[in-house]
Amino acid sequence: MWRFLAGVASTLLLVAAGFFVWKGQAEKEQLVPPAPVQAVASQASFVTPLQQQAPPEPPSAPAKTKEQKRFARADKDDDGRITRAELLQPRQKAFAKLDKNGNGSLSFEEWAVKTAEKFAKADRDRSGWLTAAEYQTTAPKPAKKKKCSC
């Protein structure tokens, strides 16, 4: 019987301790104490100091289109035009990965023929660099979605 009473007492103590911990965490401090309420005929216009200050507006950045973002990624030196070297630079890393033994038997020009032709086709004025309008013509075609067979 003594064990039973000790178990009940310890259970009640644990529940009481949990209650006090729970209530102690629920209390939150006020950052600014509210201003004392004055006996005024019209208390409907009572404003606290925090309500008087409006939060600052975040800076707004102009929204870029998908094509402008794509152009900015390819224009490595941010001069407003894409040179052939800038367009082919990501492919040089891929070439180095393909040439495992480092003997250079895979020529870069053979490997990048499609990109070079794509650049030449997009560079309509033959200036050696692409404007934003010219670069837009090199955008990959969206993949066709397969129809669901459900």
Whether the model pTM is above 0.75:
no
Distance CA 38, CA 40 (A): 6
Q: Could you read off the pLDDT of 71-126 as tens digits, one per residue? A: 998 898 989 898 988 888 887 877 676 676 677 667 665 667 667 888 889 998 98
